[in-house]
Amino acid sequence: MSYPLFQASFTVYCIATALYIIFFLNQKKQIRKAARMVFIAAAFLHAVNILLRYIEAGHTPITSIHEVISFFAWSVACCHLSFRWRYTVKNSGTFTAVIVLLLMLIASFASRKILPLPPEMQSWWLPVHASVSIIAAAFLTLAAIGGVMYLLQERELKQKRFGFFFSRLPSLDTLDKLNQHCISIGFPLMTVGMLAGYIWARQIWGGRPWQWNPKIVMSVITWLLYAGLMHQRFTLGWRGRRAAGITIIAFFAVLLIIGSMLQEGL
C-alpha cells in the first residue's frame, strides 16, 4: 500500500531536481518557484508514504535499509524547507535536491520487505534514538552542503575568476551562517540521540562492554569532532574555510555511522 506512494514521491523528486538544475543553469526565477513547489509536493507525498509504512509495519519504519535511507532523505528535504522559510540561501535547493534524489535512488534498490522487530528493539526508545539521530544527520548534511558551497565560492574569489559558480552561489558570509545554523541544531539533536541510545543500550546489555561496539566508538568520535567545532566557533570565533572543511570531514564520519547502523541494525 505504501510503496506506490514511495515511487510517486521519488518521481516528483526527480522532476524537482531537474527543475532545480535547469534553474541553476539559467537562473530564471519562475523555474525556481516551480522547482520549490514541486519539491514541497514531493516531501508531502513522502511523508504520507512514511505514515502508511508505519501503519503497515505497526512500528516506527526506521529498522531496515530501505526505511532508514528513505527517512533520511525525507528528513534532509524537511530540514531544508524548515530553514528555507527563514533564510535565503541562493541555489541551496539545487544541492539539497540532488542529495535527496540520490538517497531515494539508494532506498529504491533496497529491499522494501517489512522486518519484524526483535524483542530487544521493541521499545519506545527505538523511535526516539533512531529518528532524532537521523534528523540530526539531516541538519549536518545541510551543514556539509553549505561547506561545499563555501569552498566552491571561495575558490572563485581567491582565483579572481568570477566564473560559473560566483554568480550562482551566495556570499561567503551567508554560507558561513548556514553552516553555523545547521550545526547549532544538528549537534544538540545528535547529543539527544546519543543519550537516548545510551539509555536504551543500558536497558538491553546492562553493564556489559557494549560501549566498545565500533558504531558507538565512531559516534563518540564524531560527537567530539562537532563539539570541538562548536567550541572553536563560539569561543575562538572560527569562521570560513577552516570551519567549512572540518564540517565536511565530520560529515564523512556521520556517513560511516549511518552505514554501520544499516549493517548492524539500529
CB 222 within 8 A of CB 250: yes
Distance CA 110, CA 208 (A): 33
Among the residue ranges 5-9, 51-55, 96-100, 223-227, the one predicted with the least confidence is: 223-227
Closest-CA residue to 177 (of 249, 80, 88)? 88
At residue 15, the pLDDT reads: 97
Angle at 147 between CA 79 and CA 9, to 5 degrees: 35
Distance CA 117, CA 106 (A): 23
CB 246 within 8 A of CB 231: no
Distance CA 99, CA 256 (A): 16
**Between 242 and 102, residue with greater pLDDT:** 102
At residue 186, the pLDDT reads: 92
At residue 208, the pLDDT reads: 57
At residue 213, the pLDDT reads: 67
User: Which tens digits make up the pLDDT trace of 54-101?
Assistant: 988 888 888 888 999 999 999 999 999 987 767 777 788 999 999 999
Prediction pTM value = 0.89
CB 158 within 8 A of CB 94: no
55, exposed or middle or buried, with CB in 10 Å at 0-12, 13-18, 19+? Answer: exposed
How does the average pLDDT of the chain come out, rounded?
84
At residue 12, the pLDDT reads: 97
User: Which tens digits make up the pLDDT trace of 168-190?
Assistant: 888 888 888 888 888 999 999 99
Mean pLDDT of all residues in 34-49:
96
At residue 210, the pLDDT reads: 55
